Amino acid sequence: MNSVAVAISGGVDSSVAALLLKDRGYNVFGITMSLSEYSEKTIETAAQVADKLDISHYVVDLKTEFNERVIKPFCHEYGLGRTPNPCILCNRHIKFNLLFDKARELGANLFATGHYARILETQEGLKLFKGIDFAKDQSYFLYMLKQEQLKHLLMPLGGLTKTEVKNIACELGIDTLIEHESQDICFIPNNGYDEFISENVDTKCGDILDIDGALIGRHRGLAYYTIGQRQGLGLSSSGRRYIVRLDPANNTVILGEREQLFLTKLRAGKLTWISGNVPFCMEQIAARIRYRAPESPVKMRFIDGFCDIEFEQPQWAITPGQSVVFYRGDEVLGGGIIETPDSSMS
């Protein structure tokens, strides 16, 4: 019998994933990451869920690794005026790497999560697809998965809607154990970004300029700002101007009009592909520049390990440090990290 370690986060989704796999006859146990000082409530709830499901439960202390592989790079990138996605860093380095290795040490030959995505076997190999509930689809966060990982990975919620998952949780009674959905960034309590940045990121004040280079104010440090931001600029009157660019070389924040945030080009690096190779066919590929952004058809050109991407529809607030993810229909092809917007393409 296959032994499956389910990454239980203390939320409805991972709890229902464990239940479904147990009902299918797998030998299931729960495994929960201890990632920071704020993990205690998560671990307590996950243990209660495991007890309710009558499965074994293990806690794996990955605080040191999480700090080195996720928090420190996150802070470093913010200090450079970039906006990284910590969930993607965690999936790449922690959840589908170190945690999976710990699960195998505990006897699992399969690993499962509560992500809304699907893994299908085809003649070309294993492929990753969006979850059928497009409002909850989480395939954007999984573009870095590789064939060797997909061979041992289960995502039982990919064919369900969130409503169906909640109903299953209610029928079992595990919904009463879970107080709320997971927060955006697990190591920043109560979304206290400013406090976190002030304690963890080296910042230096600098100038706020308009798009023509005129001085209009001072900023607190690039880490406090992001592309597309309009509120919290500390200016007595910024009108309806938005941050259109952060310039780390000169430590400046540049403001412009909203229309100037709509761009059609970007350059991406650190590319990974689900198949292990750049797609042979470059037709009918669309891309998404952030989790909730709409997809747009793209043209792609590869140069020296980078990919220059041109969108059919202009994209709002292309942000360095975020991920761009490539799709063909519902299939996830891969993705990379946005290096610069509006790269030159001939």
Nearest to 231 by CA among 196, 205, 193: 193
- CATH class for the domain made up of 203-256: mainly beta
The rounded distance, in Å, linking the Cα atoms of 94 and 37 is: 17
> What pairs with residue 268 in β-bridges?
307, 338
- Considering the candidates 75, 87, 186, 307, report the single residue annotated as catalytic: 186
CA distance to 265, 295, 301, 332, per residue, from 313 (Å): 10, 9, 17, 20
- Considering the candidates 90, 170, 205, 307, report the single residue annotated as catalytic: 90
Average pLDDT over residues 34-58: 92
Q: Which three-class secondary structure state does DSSP give residue 324?
A: strand
Domains of the chain by residue range? 3-189, 203-256, 261-341
| pLDDT band at residue 183 using 50, 70 and 90 as cut-offs | low
Asked whether residue 290 carries a pLDDT value surpassing 70, the answer given is: yes
Q: What's the confidence (pLDDT) of residue 234? A: 75
| pLDDT band at residue 178 using 50, 70 and 90 as cut-offs | low
Residue 317 per-residue DSSP state:
S
Give me the CATH topology for the region 3-189: Rossmann fold (3.40.50)
Tens digit of each residue's pLDDT (9 = 90 or more) over 105-125:
999 999 999 999 999 999 989
Q: What's the confidence (pLDDT) of residue 173? A: 81
pTM above 0.85, yes or no: yes
Please enumerate in sequence order all residues whose Cβ is within 8 A of that of 335, keeping only pairs 6 or more positions apart, or say none: 143, 144, 268, 271, 272, 323, 324, 325, 326
Q: Is 186 a catalytic residue?
A: yes
Q: What's the confidence (pLDDT) of residue 245? A: 95
Q: What's the confidence (pLDDT) of residue 102? A: 96
Q: Is 87 a catalytic residue?
A: no
Q: What's the confidence (pLDDT) of residue 346? A: 43
The rounded distance, in Å, linking the Cα atoms of 269 and 182 is: 29
The rounded distance, in Å, linking the Cα atoms of 51 and 39 is: 18
Assigned token pair, 340: 């610069």
The rounded distance, in Å, linking the Cα atoms of 109 and 243 is: 48
CATH of domain 261-341: 2.40.30.10
For a pLDDT cut of 90, what percent of the chain falls above it? 81
Asked whether residue 38 carries a pLDDT value surpassing 90, the answer given is: no
Please enumerate in sequence order all residues whose Cβ is within 8 A of that of 268, keeping only pairs 6 or more positions apart, or say none: 306, 307, 309, 324, 335, 336, 337, 338, 339
Q: What's the confidence (pLDDT) of residue 171? A: 85
